[in-house]
Structures are given as C-alpha cells and as structure tokens.
Amino acid sequence: MKYLMPMVLAASVLALAGCGSRQREDDLLRRILLLEERAAAAEKTIEKLSSQVGKSLPENQVKTQQVAVASSLRAREFVLVDQNGKRRAWLGVDHFGPNLSLYDTNGNTQAHLFAHDSPLRGAGLSLSSHTNGQGRAEFGASELGGAMLDMYGGEYGGSILCLRGADGKLQGVLSASKNGASLDLIDENGKARAGLGVGKAGPSMALSDADGKTRAVMGKTATETTEGKTISYPESSLLLYGPDGKVLWQAPP
C-alpha cells in the first residue's frame, strides 16, 4: 500500500513499452524511482511527527486539545470597522480593565461598557445620544460608591425615568429639564393623580381627581380671576379646588 501509485505508473510504462522508444521507457522508470524515494521520505516525516505528538499528549487527549485551541482566540484588543474602514466597535483591555465601546460614523462614543479594577469605579454602562456628550445615561456599581443611576439632560429636553407596573402600564414618571424637576404618579387609567415638582417659580405638590382636574395644591402656585387678574401664592400656601376649578378654601386666607 505504501507505493501503490508508483506501481500503477510502472504497470502503465510496461504496457506502453512496445509503443515507444527504449529511451522514453528508461526516462519514465527513473521518474518512478524518484517518486518512490520522495514517498518513502514523506512517510518517515509523518511517522516522526506522529511520534512527537504522542509523546507530548496522551492519545485520548490529542483530539480534545486540538478542538480547544481551534475554538479559542487570545488577544489584547479587537477592532471592528465598517465598509469605509472607520472604527465602529472596540473590545479590549486597557490599564483600567476590560472595555467595550461602540462608535457612530463620526467616531463619537455612543455606548461604553466597562469593568474597571478600581473599587471606586467598578463596572458600568454609559450611553450617549449626542456628539457633544449631552443626552447621556450612566448606570454603575462599585465597592465604595455602591449602585448609581445618573442621567443628563439633552439639548432639546431633559432626562426621564419611567416606572411601569407588571402589566407594562406607566405608573410613574421622574423627569428633569432646564425648567425644573418633577415626579408624577399615574393611576390605572393613565391619569396623573399626584405630582411633586420644583420649577423656576418654586416648589409645589398637586393632587388631581379621576378626571385629571386639580383639586388640591400645596406650595408655590397661581390662579387667575374672572377679570383676568393673576394671583400668586407663596410656598406656604394650600388651596383646595372644586370640580369646576374654583377655589373652595385656601390658607393663608
């Protein structure tokens, strides 16, 4: 079986001996012998390599080791680029720890997932929706700082945190913008029933009925008379309203 191919060639040469010259037959025989020598040398090389592999690993572990090496890739960083060659994702380890960053077409970081070795920084996720860094949200946890959720208002709006029940319905909204901050609580019908806020005018708390009409306000507020005159009330005020929106009682009077 070792020299099957050379023997086939030799048989072919002998069959064609009567059809060609003696010189051609000798030339083909020399080539066959050369092929036999090369085949024998190759077989010895294969046997030597097999012997070395058998010495380095037990026979029952050779296949397992090959699979493990083939399914593992070790590197310090990976860079993904788009069709234009621009960097769009980076996965690597720097002097802080492992990081995963995603970039927009202009190279600005849009998402950053990190796990730093520092007990102060810890692990976290940072999201950005604007090239100037505005409109960001960060969530993180560290050994020294504990858990943290931080949101930054964008150029055209503020930060919003929505709270939903088990059925997915909105039950609370916490928001912050350039005009102030507020917390609104919503009933099962989607009506805002209680609100606490701090605006440019000052702090206030309002309670509403099932129809969404304001029935009580405590804090800084203002009303308008039938003559179109605006009446302002300080932070220490309490006003109760009827279903028609008219003030039923107030303190101070």
- Domain of 230: which CATH number? 3.90.930.1
CA distance 123 to 54: 45
Q: Are residues 178 and 244 in the same domain?
A: yes
Average pLDDT over residues 163-189: 89
Q: Is the pLDDT of residue 153 over 70?
A: no
Q: Is 80 part of any domain?
A: no
Q: Are residues 194 and 172 in the same domain?
A: yes
Whether residue 234 has a cis bond before it, omega within 30° of 0: no
- Strand (E) or helix (H) holding 12: helix 4-15
Q: Is the pLDDT of residue 215 over 90?
A: yes
Distance of CA 54 to the CA centre of its chain: 44
Q: Is 76 part of any domain?
A: no
Nearest Cα to Cα of residue 140 among 113, 117, 163, 162: 113
- The residue that leads in pLDDT, 19 or 84, is 84
Of the pLDDT bands very low, low, confident and very high (cuts 50, 70, 90), residue 30 is low
Q: Is 79 part of any domain?
A: no
Of the pLDDT bands very low, low, confident and very high (cuts 50, 70, 90), residue 183 is very high
Q: Is 75 part of any domain?
A: no
Q: Is the pLDDT of residue 10 over 70?
A: no
Q: Is 9 part of any domain?
A: yes
Q: Are residues 231 and 165 in the same domain?
A: yes
Whose tokens are 């397992």? That residue is 64
CA distance 246 to 193: 18
pLDDT at 101: 92
Domain count along the chain: 3
Q: Which two structure tokens, joined as six digits, stand for 145?
A: 């700082």
Q: Are residues 128 and 176 in the same domain?
A: no
pLDDT digits (tens, 9 = 90+) for 80-122: 999 999 999 999 998 889 999 999 888 888 899 999 887 777 8
Q: Tell me which residue range forms the domain holding 113.
A: 85-151
Q: Is 78 part of any domain?
A: no
CA distance 16 to 22: 11
Of the pLDDT bands very low, low, confident and very high (cuts 50, 70, 90), residue 6 is very low
Q: Are residues 36 and 119 in the same domain?
A: no
Q: Is 77 part of any domain?
A: no
Q: Which among 14, 38, 70 is the end of a domain? A: 70
Q: Are residues 104 and 146 in the same domain?
A: yes
Q: Are residues 147 and 168 in the same domain?
A: no
Q: Which among 18, 37, 70 is the end of a domain? A: 70
**Contact yes or no for 116/97 (Cβ under 8 A):** yes
- The residue that leads in pLDDT, 200 or 33, is 200
Q: Are residues 26 and 51 in the same domain?
A: yes
Q: Which among 103, 126, 151 is the end of a domain? A: 151
CA distance 218 to 231: 15
Q: Residue 142's beta-bridge partner residues?
A: 146
Q: Are residues 169 and 226 in the same domain?
A: yes
Q: Is 185 part of any domain?
A: yes
**Contact yes or no for 231/224 (Cβ under 8 A):** yes
